[in-house]
Amino acid sequence: MKIEFHGTRGSIPTPSRRTQKFGGNTACIEVRTRSNDLIVLDAGTGIRRLGVNILQGDQAAIELMQAVEFTLESLAMDERLERSEGLRALEGSKPYKKEIHLFLSHFHWDHIQGWPFFVPAYVPLFNINIYGHLKADHRLFDVINGQQNLTYFPVYLDIMQSKKNFIELAEDTVCVGDTTVTSRFLNHPQGCLGYRITSGEMTVAYCTDNEHPADGSINPNVLELADGADIFIYDTQYTPEEYKTKPGWGHSTYEEGVRIAREAGAGKLVLWHHDPEHDDKFMEDLERKARDLFPNTMAAYEGLVITDFPCEPTESPAGDEAEAGAAAQAPDMQITPAAAVINPGATFLSMADPGFLARFGKALDQGLPPVDFDCAAVEFTSRHGLSALADLTGALQRRGVPISFSSMPGPVARMLHHTRFNLIASMQYTPPKY
Ligand SMILES: [Zn+2]
Ligand SMILES: [Zn+2]
């Protein structure tokens, strides 16, 4: 695996002489697997450079980029792209691996803002799988499309010529070739997913935008993602002193990062999601303090590469044999239903409660019974409650677990009917009357 950091800053881009060393672009990490699959973590402003890198070294690609740069200034983008000589030339040029897997942790600006400037998204030859948090109130497509409303950006999403697939995740495991990507909920306003990527012998855990529990415990989801990971990338936006004035802001500290890295037996801790106010001098100091506690620590900077490749990655072996090998390594996602009932009840309203997630995660691991949700405590006015409900039911439904609802208040049922019709269509549930 090869990991390259293209954007390391949290919250907002912070370009300045004072941030030159660690960088001013927001979240984006490139992960090349041993089979040369491309996984991208988040689409902050750092993804613009990655897009250029993917295409660079190819005259046709450069022409294409010039065409795109030009057409970005014009609303008639689609017509111009069709006429672009650069584009036609690219079709006959050397082969790139044209499948890209973009995993978004969540949809705050610092994690999606670079997407409209990701040049491969404009190239019809690319197939881009965009994975993101399943939400009760928005579809993934709408979230991405929303930031390209003409008020904010001159090019609609559907004018970008690549093929795009939108895959909504809850707590899942996805296979990318012979690499597995596992997602777990983190604790952050509006929700967030952390990822654990295993390719060959190497595992990286990406836990951005996560606030540690107030009771001094360690979020079991973070612990699970980081368990024995070679590389543990963690949201260390604040110093412990700064954190005192920022509880509830959804971020964590280097001390917490160290604590989790130790507990999880992680190999290397990477400090991540740097605060916009932390200049290079401050970051060096912060890195030193963290190293005193956990020697194998480093603060992520733009251009940092961590790899276990002895040399450049090679193409995976072609043919049935390779496919059979990949299938054999894929995790068994079959879960056998048993007869029992999970009744999380009021815990819908406290999805961030680590205890609840642990119990729910355990149930997922052990094999799931049919699930009955006691919805009496879900409030119509609580988006968090509805979102949590949709997240959980989505995760269960993907595993083929029978789901039923009981004691669902009428307004909640109507809201779900409007926002998550596909999700609940197959459940034991009577649609509301209007
Ligand atoms: Zn962020
Ligand atoms: Zn965030």
Reported as type and span, the H/E element at residue 168 is: strand 163-169
| Pair 25, 302: CB distance under 8 Å | yes
Rounded distance from Cα 420 to ligand 2 centre (Å): 24
Please, what is the average pLDDT of the chain? 75
Question: Of 290, 307, 324, at which residue does a domain stop?
Answer: 307
pLDDT digits (tens, 9 = 90+) for 417-430: 544 444 444 344 44
Rounded distance from Cα 150 to ligand 2 centre (Å): 24
Rounded distance from Cα 283 to ligand 1 centre (Å): 17
Query: Could you give the percent of the chain with pLDDT greater than 90?
Result: 48
Question: Of 277, 307, 337, at which residue does a domain stop?
Answer: 307
Q: What is the pLDDT of residue 179?
A: 92
Q: What is the pLDDT of residue 203?
A: 95
Rounded distance from Cα 404 to ligand 2 centre (Å): 32
Q: What is the pLDDT of residue 363?
A: 57
Q: Are residues 263 and 403 in the same domain?
A: no
Rounded distance from Cα 13 to ligand 1 centre (Å): 11
Interacting residues of 334 by C-beta distance below 8 A, sequence separation 6+: none
Calculate mean pLDDT across residues 341-370: 46
Q: What is the pLDDT of residue 125?
A: 78
Calculate mean pLDDT across residues 15-26: 96
Host domain of residue 385: 345-424
pLDDT surpasses 70 at 233: yes
- Is there a domain that residue 111 lies in? yes
pLDDT digits (tens, 9 = 90+) for 146-172: 999 888 988 888 888 889 999 999 888
Q: Are residues 228 and 364 in the same domain?
A: no
Please report how the helices 410-419 and 383-398 are oriented relative to each other, as an axis angle in degrees rounded to 10. Answer: 60
How many C-alpha atoms does 256 have within 13 Å on its Cβ side? Answer: 29
Rounded distance from Cα 434 to ligand 1 centre (Å): 41
Q: Is 292 exposed, middle or buried (0-12, 13-18, 19+ CB in 10 A)?
A: exposed
- Is there a domain that residue 315 lies in? no
Rounded distance from Cα 108 to ligand 2 centre (Å): 5
- Is there a domain that residue 334 lies in? no
Q: Are residues 278 and 383 in the same domain?
A: no
Rounded distance from Cα 324 to ligand 1 centre (Å): 39
User: What gap in Å lies between CA 432 and CA 80, rounded to an integer?
Assistant: 48
As for how many domains the chain has, the answer is: 2
pLDDT surpasses 50 at 353: no
Q: What is the pLDDT of residue 124?
A: 79
Q: What is the pLDDT of residue 5?
A: 96
Rounded distance from Cα 273 to ligand 1 centre (Å): 7
Q: Are residues 297 and 354 in the same domain?
A: no
Rounded distance from Cα 249 to ligand 2 centre (Å): 9
pLDDT surpasses 80 at 258: yes
- Is there a domain that residue 270 lies in? yes
Rounded distance from Cα 363 to ligand 2 centre (Å): 28
Rounded distance from Cα 256 to ligand 1 centre (Å): 17
Rounded distance from Cα 293 to ligand 2 centre (Å): 27
Rounded distance from Cα 210 to ligand 1 centre (Å): 9
Rounded distance from Cα 111 to ligand 1 centre (Å): 6
Q: What is the pLDDT of residue 36?
A: 83
Q: Which CATH number do you get for residue 174? A: 3.60.15.10
Beta-sheet strands, E only, within 275-418: 297-299, 305-307, 371-374, 403-406
Calculate mean pLDDT across residues 267-287: 97
Ligand closest to the CA atom of residue 10: 1
Reported as type and span, the H/E element at residue 146 is: helix 140-146
With H, G, I as helix, E, B as strand and everything else as coil, classify residue 247: coil
pLDDT digits (tens, 9 = 90+) for 63-115: 655 555 444 443 233 333 333 443 333 344 333 468 899 999 999 999 999 99
pLDDT surpasses 70 at 364: no
Who has greater pLDDT, 358 or 11?
11
Who has greater pLDDT, 36 or 358?
36
- Is there a domain that residue 173 lies in? yes
pLDDT surpasses 90 at 116: yes
Rounded distance from Cα 12 to ligand 1 centre (Å): 8
Rounded distance from Cα 104 to ligand 2 centre (Å): 11
- Is there a domain that residue 87 lies in? no
Rounded distance from Cα 118 to ligand 2 centre (Å): 20
Q: What is the pLDDT of residue 182?
A: 94
- Is there a domain that residue 321 lies in? no
Ligand closest to the CA atom of residue 26: 1
Instruction: For ligand 2, an ion, list residues with CB under 5 A.
Output: 108, 209
- Is there a domain that residue 322 lies in? no
Rounded distance from Cα 209 to ligand 2 centre (Å): 5
Rounded distance from Cα 235 to ligand 1 centre (Å): 9
Q: What is the pLDDT of residue 65?
A: 53
Rounded distance from Cα 422 to ligand 2 centre (Å): 27
Rounded distance from Cα 246 to ligand 1 centre (Å): 14
Calculate mean pLDDT across residues 414-419: 52
Q: Are residues 196 and 109 in the same domain?
A: yes
Q: What is the pLDDT of residue 158?
A: 82
Q: Are residues 270 and 356 in the same domain?
A: no
User: What gap in Å lies between CA 427 and CA 214, rounded to an integer?
Assistant: 36
Rounded distance from Cα 10 to ligand 1 centre (Å): 5
Which residue, among 419, 408, 410, has the nearest Cα to 383 in the 3D structure? 419
pTM of the model: 0.68
Q: Are residues 124 and 273 in the same domain?
A: yes
Q: Residue 8: pLDDT band by 50, 70, 90 thresholds?
A: very high
pLDDT surpasses 70 at 394: no
Rounded distance from Cα 51 to ligand 1 centre (Å): 20
Q: Are residues 290 and 364 in the same domain?
A: no
Beta-sheet strands, E only, within 323-389: 371-374
Question: Of 286, 307, 328, at which residue does a domain stop?
Answer: 307
Q: Are residues 16 and 130 in the same domain?
A: yes
Q: Are residues 165 and 298 in the same domain?
A: yes
Q: What is the pLDDT of residue 331?
A: 25
Rounded distance from Cα 107 to ligand 1 centre (Å): 9
Q: Are residues 274 and 416 in the same domain?
A: no
Q: Are residues 352 and 298 in the same domain?
A: no
